Amino acid sequence: MLYFIGLGLSNEKDITVAGLEIVKNASRVYLEAYTSILMIETEKLEEFYGRPVIVADREMVESSADEILAGSDTSDIAFLVVGDPYGATTHTDLLLRARELGIPTRNIHNASIMNAIGACGLQLYNFGQTVSMVFFLDNWKPSSYYDRIKENREIGLHTLVLLDIKVKEQSLENMARGRKIYEPPRYMTVAQCCQQMLETEEERGEKVYTPKSLAVGVSRLGSEDQKIVAGTLEQLAEADLGKPLHSVVLLGKRVHELEIDFIREFAIDKDIFNAAYEAEYGEHST
């Protein structure tokens, strides 16, 4: 059996009891380590599990999947995923490869940013499409996310923005020369995301949102030191939410008064927050 096991959001103790029992008895244990990260070192996991953990980077998962699948038709292999197993399409691809080989699979679910974001006070059924924000380069500033936000905003829904992480990435030069030299890890912040959102709005000019539009920034969600702040995009573009991982939610126009009452307590400046809410939501504001 090939098991896809969600680890939750924060540390080694977030794994479910069912997941832990499987890990302790598996022949091999892999940790997917590039679509997201836990807030602890791999050694912490090994100490808690009492088992060695093989770190599976992008190259292994996408190019050497046979190595992970090997032997899983006759023994149990555990593939650990931060959050929930279906938080990234790569894991679906691995599952489909297993099916083609006749390898049985099972999923052990856990909390992910997709449901834990409700902790910020916005109701999950008021969310639209989730989008991803990548690091802009001087000659590459993709804006397809803007179109998805536009679609969400047109029907009044909130947008969860997942922020880019760069782990074990090569520079273009090293990649071209075939040199296995990797860049230091980088994790996008709430401030960087909001700056890029404002840059795209300025370039596209479709008024999907403005610097005064309300948003919520979160960091290290699910940990003891999680941080949640609310404010305008221009405020969040200057906010420091500390260590990764970060996410952003842009409010939709169908925001409920109870949601506003909840997130107002996270406001960087309540006067600015209230003024922005009044300006954007008019007669629906409190």
The answer to whether 87 is a known ligand-binding residue is yes
The answer to whether 163 is a known ligand-binding residue is yes
Cβ–Cβ under 8 Å, residues 169 and 183: yes
The answer to whether 113 is a known ligand-binding residue is yes
The answer to whether 160 is a known ligand-binding residue is no
The answer to whether 84 is a known ligand-binding residue is yes
Residue matched to tokens 């989730």 = 130
Closest CA to 209 of 217, 197, 219, 221: 197
The answer to whether 71 is a known ligand-binding residue is no
The answer to whether 246 is a known ligand-binding residue is yes
Bridge partners, residue 11, by sequence: none
The answer to whether 157 is a known ligand-binding residue is no
Q: Where are the alpha helices (DSSP H) in 65-171?
A: 65-69, 89-100, 113-116, 144-154
Bridge partners, residue 229, by sequence: 217
Closest CA to 14 of 136, 116, 97: 116
Bridge partners, residue 108, by sequence: 5
First CA to last CA distance, the chain: 54
Residues contributing to the annotated binding site: 9, 84, 87, 112-113, 163, 221, 246
List, as residue ranges, the binding site for S-adenosyl-L-methionine: 9, 84, 87, 112-113, 163, 221, 246
